């Protein structure tokens, strides 16, 4: 049996999954990065060296997408709380918008990750 | 909506509100961080250090991390309540989550003022 999930359901599940992955490993990675950046000139250089690895860049890009999707889906959530866009068609459009904007923002900010050598 | 009691302890409504307030706080912080990155475009250790040597920046960053921990706690707890029905396992995981979030908060303080 095949169950076809409507788009808003996919957005909602992604909101949960991204939330869990931002909690772990997201938060410790963020704290570790900040610590490396600020601890000493040596640790700052070490961090840049780690950032130079392609697998690290890829991992951070995925995390960045989780963050951007979670942020956009959260804003949609707040709008729905305030009774904006509650119609079925509107909810479908805003759901699509969340997916697209999340990906665009990931590409935009991901460029910073990929420019770092 | 009158007399809508979500739980005996009434924490459901406070959590609902806290989840949204912390979300807005974090969204504002992210906008602030992007603005600072665009203005100062820090590219080495000393420029990063300068940004975070400002006491207000440290305080606002700590507020961000505390919001993040609170937000994460409510979110993770809701998910655990939905999917893990065996109380002993769920409580064990919840305690682990609380410990890790407490550790993260202390870590953030350590980075800002250590």
pLDDT, tens digit, 9 for 90 and up, residues A71-103 = 999 999 999 999 998 888 888 899 999 999 999
Q: From B108, which residue of chain A is nearest by alpha-carbon distance?
A: A31
Residue A32 lies in a domain: no
pLDDT of residue A7: 83
Statement: residue B4 has pLDDT above 70 = no
Statement: residue B2 has pLDDT above 70 = no
| Mean pLDDT for chain B overall | 92
Chain B nearest CA to A114, separation (Å):
15
Domain of A11, in residue numbers: 7-24+53-115
Residue A39 lies in a domain: no
Residue B4 lies in a domain: no
Residue B50 lies in a domain: yes
Burial B96-111 (b: 16+ CB within 10 A, else e): ebeebbeebbebbeeb
CB A72 within 8 A of CB A15: no
We report the CATH number of the domain holding residue B99 as 1.20.1300.10
Residue A79 lies in a domain: yes
Statement: residue A1 has pLDDT above 90 = no
- Contact criterion met (CB < 8 Å) for B27 and A74: yes
- Contact criterion met (CB < 8 Å) for B44 and A44: yes
pLDDT of residue A55: 97
* DSSP classification of residue A4: P
Pull the structure tokens for residue A33: 């990065």
Residue A85 lies in a domain: yes
Residues of chain A whose C-beta is under 8 A from some C-beta in B? 16, 19-20, 22-24, 27-28, 31, 34-35, 37-38, 40-41, 44-45, 71, 74-75, 78, 81
Residue A43 lies in a domain: no
Higher pLDDT, A70 or B9: A70
List, as one string, the DSSP characters of chain B.
Answer: -TT---STT-HHHHHHHHHHHHHHHHHHHHHHHHHHHHHH---SHHHHHHHHHSHHHHHHHHHHHHHHHHHHHHHHHHHHHHH---HHHHHHHHHHHHHHHHHHHHHHHHHHH-
Residue B2 lies in a domain: no
* DSSP classification of residue A110: H
Nearest to A38 among B49, B65, B104 (CB): B49
A20, A30, A60: which is closest to B107 by C-alpha? A30
3-state SS of A39-71 is: HCHHHHHHHHHHHCCHHHHHHHHHHHHHHHHHH
Lowest-pLDDT range, A107-111, B3-7, B87-91? Answer: B3-7
Q: Model confidence over A27-58: pLDDT tens digits?
A: 999 999 999 999 999 999 999 999 999 999 99
ipTM: 0.91
In sequence order, the 6+-apart residues with CB closer than 8 A to the CB of A49 are none
Q: How many domains does chain B contain in total?
A: 1
pLDDT of residue A116: 77
List, as one string, the DSSP characters of B42-66.
Answer: --SHHHHHHHHHSHHHHHHHHHHHH
We report the CATH number of the domain holding residue A61 as 1.20.1300.10
Nearest to A34 among B24, B68, B111 (CB): B111
The burial of B29, by beta-carbon neighbours within 10 Å (0-12 exposed, 13-18 middle, 19 or more buried), is given as middle
pLDDT of residue A12: 87
Nearest to A31 among B23, B46, B111 (CB): B111
Residue A104 lies in a domain: yes
Chain A nearest CA to B107, separation (Å):
7
Residue A34 lies in a domain: no
CB B104 within 8 A of CB A31: yes
pLDDT of residue B10: 67
Report chain B residues whose CB lies below 8 A from the CB of A41: 45-46
Residue A98 lies in a domain: yes
Nearest to A20 among B30, B46, B76 (CB): B76
pLDDT of residue B113: 96
Q: How many domains does chain A contain in total?
A: 1
């Amino acid at each position: 049996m095949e169950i076809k999930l409507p788009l808003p359901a996919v957005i909602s599940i992604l909101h949960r999954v991204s939330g869990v992955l931002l909690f772990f490993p997201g938060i410790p990675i963020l704290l570790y990065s900040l610590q490396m950046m600020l601890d000493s000139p040596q640790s700052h250089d070490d961090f840049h060296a780690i950032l130079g690895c392609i697998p690290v860049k890829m991992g951070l890009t995925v995390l960045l997408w989780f963050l951007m999707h979670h942020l956009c889906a959260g804003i949609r959530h707040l709008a729905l709380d305030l009774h904006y866009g509650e119609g079925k068609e509107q909810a479908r459009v805003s759901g699509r918008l969340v997916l697209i904007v999340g990906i665009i923002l990931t590409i935009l900010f991901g460029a910073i990750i990929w420019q770092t050598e | 909506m009158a007399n809508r009691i979500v739980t005996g302890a009434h924490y459901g409504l406070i959590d609902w509100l806290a989840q949204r307030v912390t979300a807005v706080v974090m969204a504002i912080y992210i906008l602030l961080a992007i603005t600072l990155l665009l203005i100062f475009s820090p590219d080495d250790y000393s420029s990063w250090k300068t940004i975070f040597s400002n006491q207000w920046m440290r305080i606002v960053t700590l507020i961000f991390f505390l919001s993040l921990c609170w937000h994460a706690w409510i979110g993770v707890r809701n998910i655990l309540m939905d999917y893990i029905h065996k109380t002993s396992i769920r409580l064990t995981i919840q305690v682990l989550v609380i410990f890790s979030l407490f550790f993260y908060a202390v870590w953030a303080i350590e980075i800002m003022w250590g």
